[in-house]
Amino acid sequence: MGQFVKRHFEQVQVKQQHDFAHKVEKIDDDLGTTKKLVRKLTRKNQDKHLTVHLVPYSWNKAGAKKTVDQAFTGTENKGFAHARVQTIFDTVFYQLAKDASRRYTVIQIKYFEMWYTRLDPKRKEGVKKIIKDGQVEFAQGGWVSPDEACPNYEDFILNMQIGQQFLQREFGVRPTVAWNVGVYGHSAAAQALFADFGLEAQFFDHMLNEPKGLRELNHSHTFLWEPFARNQGDNKQILTHIFRRAYGWPDVFAVDELKSADDPFITDPSLEGYNREWKVNEFINLCQEIANNSLGTENIVVPFGDDFAYMNAMLNWEQIDTLVKYVNEQQRVNLTVMQSTPSTFINALKREGVKYPVYNWDYVLASIDKGFIFSGIFSNKPDFKKQIKDYSALYHAQSRLFAKRVINHLVQEEEVKRVMDAQWSSGEALALAQSEDVITGVAAPHVIVDTTYRLASAFSKSRKELLRDIKASLKS
């Protein structure tokens, strides 16, 4: 993290400056029937070339309104809960194989493991090639994206351990950046652990409106987080980027199988609804606005995804490819847009050498709408939270006994396999329970029941092995 330059941040009253020009023009299409107002914003550092990092991704919640199995297979599709993660990965990797310039970010490793392990050997080799070529990046690497307040240290580490072990074993990769956009607040303790895991940067959205507004005024959405600086100094630091808007698609670009709220690109002037110039200008305006409110002047990031996005990846990349093509063809603004990944953007910031403000404390509480704060996550469903803690204590106790057994030189290979399988099952179920929607208790009731069942089933398997160890200890 030595590549990032620090700047001491003073909370001063900053007046919002309107130092960019606004120009409104009317553009008629060839039919002469549609008139769209096109705003044209000017960037403060227009002479410097701006690279726009477009990051395609899916935020696949591990237990919210559907269980993990339901979300993966696509059953119980009702309203917002409509999701089929298996189809997301099928269509995404098919589209990635068609164009080497395309990029995609995977976050929840549990879903990816469910999909990958069900592929035939030939398809697995194709997936490995796409990953090796850098078209796919794994962010954070946790089995699920964990809540940052309710889990204890051991379970937080366990979740990261299981996910990253899978990535290392199958692909030889280790994530360096986290993408924690859906988590209900962020703690300094979690940032310290992320730094220990080797993560050098993270991205998120949810935090209280007041500090987010202050960072808006000071153009400090990107900052260096140094948790426990009083004791650790700058030994643990993680570059943090907060999205100014919601973590989904930009306005007027949400064209997706699940959330097709906006019109697609219509590039043929003879068709009704022709909107190419208007869409291009809207995106350029967004980039100019982000750049005007950033400390850096050469690189910005634009998230391009949402919850369970890319179920029809062909539709998504048709829009992305069209956007990239026509934005890069325009000559009015000195910018280039590219499909990118979180770590590519972070590496670009390193080269830019910007001085960032420093922050040391928590951002645990979060709000989405004015007056709506996620505070019940700490006390919601206390019995369920206690159950997770009890299973956690049992897991870490049995780990010591299991370790003692498997290192015994007299142990048989079959017995080692049986013990390791039991340990894996209980650890995987416990890691899954750390999800930001599950351990906080905000998941649907049937998801909580499913998690409880998974924990009970997994630990009933390990309990048999545990009883063997206890009996052996009593005899000795």
- What contacts 277, CB < 8 A, 6 or more positions away? 27, 38
Are residues 252 and 400 both part of a single domain? no
Res. 275: pLDDT tops 90: yes
pLDDT digits (tens, 9 = 90+) for 337-373: 999 999 999 999 999 988 899 999 888 877 766 667 7
- Residue-wise pLDDT for 392-445, tens only, equals 999 998 998 888 888 887 888 888 888 899 999 999 999 999 999 999 999 999
pLDDT given at position 427:
96
Domain co-membership, 134 together with 247: yes
Contacts of 331 (CB under 8 A, 6+ apart): none
Last residue within a domain, chosen from 292, 326, 359? 359
pLDDT higher at 295 or 259: 295
Same domain, 199 and 324: yes
How do residues 216-227 score in pLDDT, each as one tens digit? 888 888 999 999
In a domain, 421, yes or no: yes
Q: What is the pLDDT of residue 375?
A: 76
Q: Please indicate, yes or no, whether residues 12 and 86 belong to a single structural domain of this protein.
A: yes
- Give the whole-number percent of the chain exceeding pLDDT 90: 60
User: Residues 350, 422: one domain?
Assistant: no
φ and ψ at 407, to 5 degrees? -90, -5
Provide the pLDDT for residue 476.
Answer: 65
Indicate the range of 18-32, 331-345, 434-448, 454-468 predicted with least confidence.
Answer: 18-32
334 found inside a domain: yes
Q: Percent of the chain at pLDDT above 70?
A: 88
pLDDT at residue 219, rounded to an integer: 86
Write out pLDDT tens, residues 163-200. Answer: 999 999 999 999 999 998 888 889 999 999 999 999 99
Which of residues 212 and 27 earns the better pLDDT score?
212
pLDDT, tens only, 51-66: 999 999 999 999 889 9
Which pLDDT score, from 0 to 100, does residue 11 have? 36
State yes or no: pLDDT of 30 exceeds 60: no
**In the numeric block, which tokens belong to residue 259?**
């959330």
The Cα-based distances of 421 to 164, 166, 402, 404 in angstroms read: 18, 15, 11, 16
The 10 Å Cβ neighbour count of residue 268 is 10
pLDDT of residue 34: 39
Task: Note the pLDDT of residue 37.
Answer: 52
Boundary (domain end) residue, out of 312, 327, 359: 359
Confidence tier at 6 by pLDDT (50, 70, 90): low
Residue 36: is its pLDDT beyond 60? Answer: no
Place of tokens 């493991």: 113
Strands 35-41 and 22-28: antiparallel
- Residues 355, 385, single domain; the answer is no
Q: What is the pLDDT of residue 80?
A: 53
Q: Is residue 29 scored above 70 in pLDDT?
A: no
Query: Does 352 share its domain with 403?
Result: no
Would residue 151 count as lying in a domain?
A: no
Name the band, by pLDDT with cuts 50, 70 and 90, for residue 245: confident
**Measured CA distances, 111 to 97, 161, 173, 199 (Å):** 20, 16, 17, 21
Mean pLDDT over 376-391 rounds to 91
Q: Identify the pLDDT of residue 23.
A: 34
Q: Are residues 411 and 458 in the same domain?
A: yes
- Please, which residues bridge with residue 89 across strands? none
Instruction: Kindly report the CATH number assigned to the domain that includes residue 266.
Output: 3.20.110.10
CB 126 within 8 A of CB 164: no
The end-to-end CA distance of the chain, in Å, is 51
Q: Is residue 392 part of a domain?
A: yes
- Which pLDDT belongs to residue 79? 56
Distances in Å between the Cα of 149 and the Cα atoms of 14, 86, 97, 378 are: 32, 30, 39, 8
Q: How is residue 444 written in tokens? A: 């649907």
pLDDT at 182: 83
Nearest to 293, CA basis, from 20, 31, 8, 9: 20
Q: For 241-245, what is the mean pLDDT?
A: 86
- Same domain? For 353 and 388 the reply is no
Q: Is 70 a residue whose pLDDT tops 80?
A: yes
User: How far apart (Å, rounded) are the C-alpha atoms in residues 110 and 107?
Assistant: 9
Examine residue 147 and state whether it is found in any structural domain, yes or no: no
For Cα atoms 441, 374, 225, give the angle at the middle one, nearest 5 degrees: 110
Query: Is pLDDT at 19 greater than 80 in this prediction?
Result: no
Which range of residues forms the domain containing residue 457? 381-468
Report the domain count for the chain.
2
Domain end among 326, 359, 392? 359
Shared domain for 109 and 248, answered yes or no, is yes
Strands (E), 367-450: none
What rounded mean pLDDT belongs to the chain? 86
In a domain, 153, yes or no: no
21 — pLDDT class (breaks 50, 70, 90): very low
Domain for residue 199, yes or no? Answer: yes
Same domain, 243 and 117: yes
Q: What is the pLDDT of residues 145-166, one digit of tens each?
A: 999 989 999 999 999 999 999 9
What's the pLDDT tens digit per position in 81-115? Answer: 678 999 999 999 999 999 999 999 999 999 999 99
We report the CATH number of the domain holding residue 387 as 1.20.1270
Residue with tokens 């907060």: 242
Residue 452 pLDDT: 96
Together in a domain, 211 and 77: yes
**366 inside domain:** no
